[in-house]
């Protein structure tokens, strides 16, 4: 460990281009299978996706469950630790909408967020 700073340590886990996008897809787009995550518009490569899912699982942010034995296939979902990132994802989204021209929230993500807020509140 280079630093005990919580920002530094958090960036060790979340601080690359792909990790938050994978979390976004699991959280807001209902994706759970490898092929679904691979189909995101950002076009993540297979080796990067596999690596990031493994890191997220090792960090306790994502868990995988087998849903098919032959060939082996897994469903991925956020753990409570991963769900706790919801405010961070929301704030990064809000910041991007406010300060980066041309950004927008896809309608299906907005609808999912709205329905979750209505059922949990």
The residues spanned by each domain of the chain are: 6-120
Q: What is the pLDDT along the chain (121 residues), one digit of tens a residue?
A: 679 999 999 999 999 999 999 999 999 999 999 999 999 999 999 999 999 999 999 999 999 999 999 999 999 999 999 999 999 999 999 999 999 999 988 766 655 554 555 544 4
| Distance in angstroms (rounded) separating the CA atoms of residues 57 and 108 | 26
The structure's pTM equals 0.84
pLDDT value at position 104?
87
| Distance in angstroms (rounded) separating the CA atoms of residues 65 and 94 | 32
Tokens 């032959």 belong to 70
Tokens 């979750």 belong to 116
| Distance in angstroms (rounded) separating the CA atoms of residues 91 and 30 | 20
Fold of 6-120: Arc Repressor Mutant, subunit A (1.10.10)
CB neighbour class for 104 (10 Å; exposed up to 12, middle 13-18, buried from 19): exposed
pLDDT value at position 100?
94
């Amino acid at each position: 460990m280079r630093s005990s700073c919580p920002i530094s340590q958090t960036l060790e886990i979340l601080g690359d281009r792909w990790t938050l996008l994978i979390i976004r897809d699991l959280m807001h787009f209902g994706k759970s299978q490898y092929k679904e995550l691979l189909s995101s518009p950002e076009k993540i490569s297979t080796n990067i996706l596999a690596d990031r899912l493994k890191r997220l699982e090792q960090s306790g942010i994502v868990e995988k469950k087998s849903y098919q034995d032959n060939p082996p296939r897994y469903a991925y979902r956020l753990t409570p630790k991963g769900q706790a990132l919801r405010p961070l994802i929301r704030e990064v989204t809000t910041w991007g909408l406010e300060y980066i021209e041309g950004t927008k929230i896809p309608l299906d993500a907005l609808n999912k967020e709205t329905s979750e807020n209505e059922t949990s509140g």
